[in-house]
Amino acid sequence: MVRIDYDISDDSDYLFTSAELRTREREFLDKNRIERMVRSAKLDEFFKILRDTVYSGYINDVENSGNFDKVLIEEYGNIVKFLSERLKPNDLAAVEILFLEENLHNLKTVIKSVILDRDLESLFIPILDSYQTLRGAALTENYKEIRESISEVLSFAVGLIGLQKNYRFMELELEKFYLKKMFDSVKKIDRRFIIDYLRHIIDIYNIKNICRNKYLSEDFDFDSFIYENGFLTRKYLMEFRNESLDSFIKEMERTDYSDIVTKGINALHSGRTFSAFEKNEDLFRIDFFEPVKFTVSNLERIFQFFLIKKLELKYLNIIHTGIIYGIEKNKIEDKVKV
């Protein structure tokens, strides 16, 4: 990654919170413990290792339910509570950015449930909103009882239902609108580092959309899925409309996203799954926050802590699921080796 010389200033208002989180960094699972979990032949071995971590209190719930859902939901709730109580009002948009993918997933789930007239609550991730609240608002088109930051997006999504060409088209339009709203929100924070983080996320959405479009020969014009406000301008990306996938990959090899694209496409060709992009996205995010370690107390340092926390929870879920379904150890390790 090309390093930008960010001037990440410290904020005395976050001195205590940053110190608290610095102490909590010892909670993170070290490489050795993760590797032992991956090598676990049975769940008993996995739980034995988990018992010596900050997640020990969840073991009975995970054993009884057979999944990691409660851990994720409760820990996400703890993150939101912690940040809501400690961040300054102007900085609260950072919570939305931290859970951007989950919020977008929830919006798509609610709209799909309305279209299909089916209960899809099991697919919903209750973090900042409840399924029933969002679905009720979508059905009645009454958005007074939901968060202001999400009401306009949900209203826009509901408006797409009558215009739908197909569900994929709706998803792309919703993504475009949502990312624009998130960019408008994060600008209010006025922290260049956090703004640039979101710009990178927008670039990655655009890159994956182009790769998917060309790999699957989707019948969507580039106008449908090239989003604004990334580092890679819309005008620049539109130039690849009539180029081959190989040409696009070759051009991306000259950018900060080289590993995401080349390794993702290689895995896509061999495994035929777009989830292959996720691993290198995670690496990119972690690497981007490297300059923050040289600072003392600021929003960026707080954001970094919970970004790592979210990745840790994700990888624990992958390991647990992998053991249950007997997935090869090398495949599990490849997904969590960060």
* Residue 330: exposure state from Cβ atoms within 10 A (0-12, 13-18, ≥19): exposed
What pLDDT is recorded for position 165? 67
Q: d(Cα 252, Cα 231) in Å, to the nearest integer?
A: 13
Query: What is the CATH topology of the domain spanning 1-70+298-338?
Result: Topoisomerase I; Chain A, domain 4 (1.10.132)
Q: Is the pTM of this model over 0.85?
A: yes
Helix (H, G, I), strand (E, B) or coil at 198: helix
Angle, CA 106 vertex, CA 101 and CA 110 arms, to 5°: 150
What pLDDT is recorded for position 45? 96
What pLDDT is recorded for position 264? 86
Q: What average pLDDT values come out for the chain (338 residues) when binned by 10 residues?
A: 79 97 95 94 95 95 92 97 96 96 96 94 94 96 91 94 79 94 93 96 95 87 90 95 94 94 83 75 93 94 97 96 93 83
What pLDDT is recorded for position 278? 85
What pLDDT is recorded for position 216? 86
Q: Where are the domains of the chain?
A: 1-70+298-338, 87-191, 193-269
Cβ proximity of 224 and 172 under 8 Å: yes
289: DSSP letter: T
Q: d(Cα 196, Cα 193) in Å, to the nearest integer?
A: 5
What pLDDT is recorded for position 255? 95
Q: Please, where are the H alpha helices in the chain?
A: 15-24, 31-39, 43-50, 59-65, 69-86, 93-98, 100-116, 131-140, 148-161, 167-187, 192-215, 234-238, 245-252, 258-271, 276-288, 299-324, 329-336
| Pick from 295, 259, 251, 298: nearest CA to 277 | 259
Cα dihedral 158→160→161→163 (10° resolution): 150
Chain centroid, CA 265 distance in Å: 20
